Amino acid sequence: MSGILSHIDVAAIKHDLEHFVSATNARERLTPESLELLAGCEREIESGSVTELSYERVLKVMIDELDEHMIIWKRAAISRASDFLHLGLQYLYLLTAPDLKTCLSDIISLQALYLPPSYHLKVVEQEETVELSVDYGSFASPIPYFKDDVVMALGLFIFREVVGDDFDYLVMKFPDDRLHLDETLISQVTSAELTQHQGPMTVVMTKSDYLSTNKFYNETIRASAATAVADMQRELQKDSTLTDKVAAIIQESERPAAVTMEQAAEKLNKSVSTFRRNLNEEHT
């Protein structure tokens, strides 16, 4: 799903870009060439033609030129939850979860509403801890570490809203090939042990925190938010056909001709048999 962006995705990209430009004073610091790239991206956003990859390529140029590789943690260190979280019914749904485990399950099961299209999260429960890690599949993101920071910092804010300000990660494991890592800055946001390892971005929390309940849980508010999210999902399904999504996957692959049906099905979180059936239903 790396190329198809819904109206929700485009709104989120617009929000993120505006905040990045404002927080970094980018319009005053970028070269004329980069400013033109930014203007082109903004035009794509307004027309609704922006893709995840085209946006990330422009963002990478700005991050590198401005040396703002740690901008997410800079923002997290000085922001309140209300400043850092996207506003919207889909986030209200997360914040009204009865417990952290349900909140995280909601993020994963409804990832199209919360995460970049190429981004996936994996949860592994151990006896005393729970690990949350990221997975891009075969999507070659130009800014993987920036996206890792967004998801894990945002998750920290969301989890604290759900189960209390005392929540924190136990350990944060960064890929060992990550550059521009400022542990001092991250430590202003979390007291987690910071390490690097041969693997994807991973956070570890205690099992007891994972099972913590929301003291302010209200069944009526939760039900209303659930209804709104269900309506959003129906709208998302109307926005693009399966054929559109497959075309985007092929277009943004480094080797378009080599994309297999199995790979496309995996990206769309479908079994091959379901994928074939859905395509046939669209008379493809």
Question: What does the pLDDT read at residue 230?
Answer: 85
Instruction: Check whether 206 has a pLDDT greater than 90.
Output: yes
Q: What is the pTM of this model?
A: 0.78
- 1 half-sphere exposure, CB direction, 13 A CA radius: 23
CB 102 within 8 Å of CB 226? no
> How much is the average pLDDT of 141-170?
92
Query: Count of CB atoms within 10 A of residue 202's CB?
Result: 21
Instruction: Check whether 2 has a pLDDT greater than 50.
Output: no
Number of helical H runs and strand E runs in the chain: 16, 5
Confidence of residue 256 (pLDDT cuts 50, 70, 90): low
User: For residue 1, what are the contacts with CB-CB under 8 A and spacing of at least 6?
Assistant: 112, 117, 118, 245, 248, 249, 267, 268
- Residues 225, 200: Cα–Cα separation, whole Å: 32
pLDDT digits 0-9 by tens, 35-82: 999 999 999 999 988 888 889 999 999 999 999 999 999 988 887 665
Token readout for 257 is: 């001709």
Question: What does the pLDDT read at residue 138?
Answer: 63
Compute CA distances 231 → 16, 26, 89, 226, 239, whole Å.
Answer: 24, 37, 11, 9, 13
> How much is the average pLDDT of 79-102?
78
Instruction: Check whether 248 has a pLDDT greater than 60.
Output: yes
Question: What does the pLDDT read at residue 92?
Answer: 84
CA 219 from chain centre, in angstroms, equals 27
Residue 210, Ramachandran bin (φ over 0: left; ψ between -120 and 50: alpha; else beta): alpha
pLDDT digits 0-9 by tens, 102-116: 999 998 888 767 777
Q: Which amino acid, 101?
A: K
> How much is the average pLDDT of 262-275?
75
